[in-house]
Every structure is written in C-alpha cells, then in structure tokens.
Amino acid sequence: MTNFLSKRPLTMHQLYGDHVVFTSRPSYEKNPWLTTEEHQANMLTARELLIADIPVILHEATIGDKTRTLMTAAGIELPSNYRTFKDADSYHQRLREAEEAGEKIFFQYTHNEEYVKPSTYYVNKELFVALNNKMKLADWTKGKFLPKRDVIHVSKLEATLKDWHYPYVIKPGDDHPTAGGYGVMICYNDQDREKAFSRIQEAETDSDFIVEDYIKTEQNYCVQYAYSEATGIQYIGASIQDTNEYGKYRGNTTAHHVPDQVIAAGREIMENGVAAGYRGIAGFDLLVDDKGAVYAIDLNFRQNGSTSMLIMDELLEGDYEKFFGAYANVSNEAFYARILEEVTAGRLFPLAYYDGDYYEGQSVPSRFVGIWHGDKQDVEKHDQSFVEFNRP
C-alpha cells in the first residue's frame, strides 16, 4: 500500500480532535424536504471515510470485500476507524453508545432528541439548526449577497405570489434539513407553481417559506472553508456545481480559477458563522450572475458532496476532477466489474461502494461514489462511456 492517506492536507480529526464521532446519515425520522432513498442514505455514510481519521458510523454494506478490493486497486488501505450498523435500531444504538461513552457527535443532519441528547452534538444543536436554516440566511450574510426575497407564512403564500413574476424560487423555512436541491421549488410557470403548492400541502407544514428572485446564473460555485481554533479559517477550494433547470444536484467538478470576489464573499460568511460559535467544515452555494454579482443561495455548515474531492485535489493525477455517483442499472456484478476496471486503470478514485448483494434474497442495486481524474477530455469520454454502459 502507498502512504496516500498520510498525505492528506486536511482531515476531520485535525479539526474536531479526539473523542468525536461522525455520522453523515440523515435521521430515520420523516423529513418532507429530504427525500433521500434508504439505500442512498446508507451509502452516503461512507462518503467522507477517507478524509475523516475519526470514528465514522457506516452501514455494513459499505465495508465488504468489494470495497476493500476497490481501495486496494487504488493503492489505499481501507481505514479501520469505523462503527457499523445494519438497520435503524443498530444505527440508533451506535448513537447511544457514543453518548454513553462521553463522546461528541458531528452530525451531517440533525436528529430527534429521542435518539440523542442535544448535549452530545459537537456543534451546539441550536446553533447548528440556525446556521443551516434557509430562513436565517440573511443573518449569516449580514444582509449581503442576497437576491430579492420575502419570508412568508404558508397561509399567505398563495396570495403573496400573485405579486411575483416568473421565474422565482420557493424554499422551506423550517428547521428540517435539505440537501441536493430537494425542497427547492423553482417556478417558471403556473404548472410549476401548482406542483409546488401540491408538495407543500403534502408536507402538512405550518411554517414559513422563502420566496426569492431567480438568478440568471453564469456560474454556480460551492466554496468551502474549514475552521478550528488551532488553524483559523482555511479556504479548502471550490467546485462548479451542475444542477438541472429545477435546481436538483447532478454532480460537480473542481474549480481551479475562482473569482476573488467569490472566495472573499464565502470567507466573510464563514467568519460570521465562526463568530457565532461554529467549528468545522462549511460550503456555501454562491452564484455569479451575468453582471458579475455574487449571490448566496444556500449555506451548508457541514461537510458537502464535493468536500472529499477538494481535499484530495492535489493528491490525484491530472488537472481535472469530476465527482461521480451512480447506482446499478445493469447487474450488480457487471456494475462492480466496470468500476473496478476504471479504478485499476487509475482514472476513477473510489470514495464509497454500497454492495447491493449484501441483502441476500433481495434485489438491491449497488451504488458507488468516486472521483474521475485526469485530462478533461479523457475524463468526459470515460464518464459518458460509463453512462452508456449503465443504461437500463
């Protein structure tokens, strides 16, 4: 094995220290705005394992023989600092064990108090909720970098929107976490508006909503920073985000030439969060419009989808990196064989593999997240080739 992991420029352990456990799984409780499918939620528990260096709570299907073989093919020894679960009961048991041991937990998403006490959070729970609440975005930007926006109670939403012109964006303003653009409702026409109202009714919420002007975007960045008292604020890097016309996340690439005003805006927001007591990694979705203005549309005071990619940037060969995620539309066997082929060839770096065959007697598609790296043209060619191969 190489000493690849020893070369990481940053780990969670450097930021959070000893006696801290990490879990990136969304809570098993119902969330109307985070519609992550169960197997996807389980797979994502391993996405940050290689940058952690602290105990990570992982689903058993992410650390089997196939995962170990992929890591070996990439020249990496699978870290052993993890704690496994297989279902909701065992997951909650891992949380209770950490709490009883006096450890702190860095949560990617908040959990109900019946599963873990607020005092167990590494970041003060009340602060963590407030930092990630879209309704409070103006608090953390100090009123800067914002599109035109209103905060409206759900009971007045329909009447208020009669004064808004398409396109506009509706976002939930409650304390439920969101991710990947889910929960964001972009309305271009009456049909989109009716779909948004239908979803809001299904959520059975009595909360406020945010309505924002739609920004004509030239570039969509996720700029990321890290803070600990020992290191101060560090700029980790930025990724260019790929979303569909309705704001749903489709992946990203590493951005090597980020405008100074974007980095400065992100740092200013990070400073505001740190001043309030935040410690750790954060990523902010900042848009640049056709006039060069910077807008903050979402603040994620937690690890982000591209965090591992940005931290690994200088360690991967080539000048182009692209985040890659897929689930098997072909057989699990063929899916895995193709991934192993790409990893062995040195152009696909593995972050997490979720083995659907772990579920004996069930038909569960395997899943994978990793990083394409190399020459841009070559990466795009192999990425598209994999898409064609994996078509149902």
How confident is the model at residue 197, as a pLDDT?
85
Of 128, 225, 220, 226, residue with least CA distance to 177:
128
The edge-to-edge listing of strands for the beta sheet with 232-243 is 294-300, 280-289, 217-228, 232-243, 249-255, 320-327, 367-374, 348-354
Of 246, 242, 134, residue with least CA distance to 186:
246
- To the query of whether residue 47 is one of the catalytic residues in this protein, the response is no
Instruction: Mark out the alpha helices in the chain (DSSP H runs).
Output: 12-16, 38-43, 49-52, 65-73, 88-100, 125-131, 137-141, 154-160, 190-203, 260-276, 307-312, 332-344, 376-389
The vertex-361 CA angle with 360 and 364, nearest 5°, equals: 75
Task: Check 302, 338, 347, 367 and give the catalytic one.
Answer: 302
| Average pLDDT, integer, range 86-93 | 96
Mean pLDDT taken over the chain: 92
Q: Tell me: cis bond preceding 259? Omega within 30 of 0 counts.
A: no
- Tokens in use for 317? 């060969």
The edge-to-edge listing of strands for the beta sheet with 185-187 is 149-153, 208-213, 168-172, 185-187
Query: Is the sign of the CA dihedral 20, 23, 26, 28 positive or negative?
Result: negative
How confident is the model at residue 181, as a pLDDT?
53
Q: Tell me: domain 216-301, CATH 3.30.9.100, correct?
A: no
Please check the confidence at residue 326 and state whether its pLDDT lies above 70. Answer: yes
| Average pLDDT, integer, range 22-43 | 81
Tell me the domain boundaries of the chain: 4-131, 149-213, 216-301, 312-389
**CATH no. of 149-213:** 3.30.1490.20
- Tokens in use for 337? 């064989």
- pTM here is 0.90
Please check the confidence at residue 20 and state whether its pLDDT lies above 70. Answer: yes
How confident is the model at residue 357, as a pLDDT?
97
Please check the confidence at residue 33 and state whether its pLDDT lies above 80. Answer: no
Residues in CB range of 30: below 8 A, 6 or more apart:
none
Range with the poorest average pLDDT among 32-36, 235-239, 367-371: 32-36
CA max distance for the chain: 63
241, β-bridge pairs: 252
Q: Tens digits of per-residue pLDDT, 217-232?
A: 889 999 999 999 999 9
Residues in CB range of 387: below 8 A, 6 or more apart:
none
Tell me whether the CATH fold assigned to 149-213 matches the one assigned to 216-301: no
What's the rounded Cα separation, in Å, for the pair 86 and 229?
36
How confident is the model at residue 1, as a pLDDT?
43
Could you tell me what percent of the chain has a pLDDT over 70? 95
| Average pLDDT, integer, range 24-53 | 85
Measured from the Cβ of residue 177, the count of other Cβ atoms closer than 10 Å reads 21
| Structure-token match 């090597």, residue found | 256
Q: Tens digits of per-residue pLDDT, 126-176?
A: 999 999 988 889 999 999 999 898 888 888 888 888 889 999 999 887 666
- Tokens in use for 95? 């949380």
234, β-bridge pairs: 226
How confident is the model at residue 32, as a pLDDT?
60
Q: Tens digits of per-residue pLDDT, 180-208?
A: 555 788 999 999 999 988 888 877 777 78
* CA-CA-CA-CA dihedral for 279, 38, 313, 261, to nearest 10: -60
What's the rounded Cα separation, in Å, for the pair 281 and 233?
10
Please check the confidence at residue 91 and state whether its pLDDT lies above 50. Answer: yes
Please check the confidence at residue 339 and state whether its pLDDT lies above 80. Answer: yes
What's the rounded Cα separation, in Å, for the pair 256 and 36?
30
| Structure-token match 């937990």, residue found | 105
Please check the confidence at residue 384 and state whether its pLDDT lies above 80. Answer: yes
Kindly write down the DSSP assignment for every residue of 350-376, as one continuous string: EEEEE-GGGSTTS----EEEEEEEE-H
